[in-house]
Amino acid sequence: MGKSAAHIVWDWNGTLFHDNDAIIGATNAAFVELGLEPITLERYRALYCVPVPKFYERLLGRLPTDAEWEVMDEVFHRYYAEHRVRCGLTEGAAELLAEWRRAGRSQSLLSMYVHDELVPLVRGFGIEPHFVRVDGRTGPSGGSKAEHMVRHLQALDAVEPERTVVIGDAADDAVAALHVGAQAVLYTGGSHGRASLEVVGVPVVDSLAEAVEVAQELAA
């Protein structure tokens, strides 16, 4: 049996999809519900973490109650759905996806964005054919990607975790990768700043092009 080909599992929000403005706007809309001051992108990227209620705890000094979380979560997703239409793919993303596919390598997409909204969004950008599988979140929001990653890789044929690299913008992407025995590269253009990512102990890069280069080396 020969080695399987290198495989990339891409994250969506903040990685392939450059939606920082919509994320910050939706977060601040949710904060209004609890009387919190608006947050800047820089502060968001310094404090953001998963599970999301822990992020709110860092700002509130306490965990939100179940009732508060439900209200904030609903407001966040309603605002985000309205404003994501002004967001586009990260610069160079479509070309990188096409090049990886032309090289005969496989790639898939795993996002914590709700599945039924993710799929038409990806399809609308014309990039769905580049992926062997596209999975969004099913079930409640706010949790970790780790168990979703287990199911995602189990659904893929001829993909070995040790030759799989997760490319994402959050520490939780690396946690999910390590959970299944894969490797990770973290990109600084999304939800976390460099300082927040470097503590994870995986390669950190400033562009998706560099992320793909490092992924190829890691999976060799």
Q: What is the pLDDT of residues 144-155, one digit of tens each?
A: 899 999 999 999
Query: How does strand 204-205 pair with strand 183-187?
Result: parallel
CA-based torsion, 87, 195, 108, 213: positive or negative: positive
Q: pTM (2 decimals)?
A: 0.92
Report the pLDDT value the prediction gives residue 56, as an integer from 0 to 100.
86
Report the pLDDT value the prediction gives residue 215, as an integer from 0 to 100.
97
Low-confidence ranges of the chain (pLDDT < 50): 1-2
pLDDT digits (tens, 9 = 90+) for 123-174: 999 999 999 999 999 887 767 899 999 999 999 988 999 999 999 999 999 9
For residue 5, the SS3 value is coil
Task: Give the whole-angstrom CA distance, residue 84 versus residue 95.
Answer: 21
Report the pLDDT value the prediction gives residue 207, as an integer from 0 to 100.
98
Report the pLDDT value the prediction gives residue 2, as an integer from 0 to 100.
47
Task: Give the whole-angstrom CA distance, residue 205 versus residue 11.
Answer: 15
Helix (H) / strand (E) containing 164: strand 164-168
Report the pLDDT value the prediction gives residue 4, as an integer from 0 to 100.
65
Q: What are phi and psi of 177, to 5 degrees?
A: -60, -50
Q: Calculate Rg over the CA atoms of the chain.
A: 17
In sequence order, what DSSP letters do the residues of 48-114 get, joined into one string?
A: --SSHHHHHHHHHSSPPPHHHHHHHHHHHHHHHHHHGGG-EEPTTHHHHHHHHHHTT-EEEEEEEEE
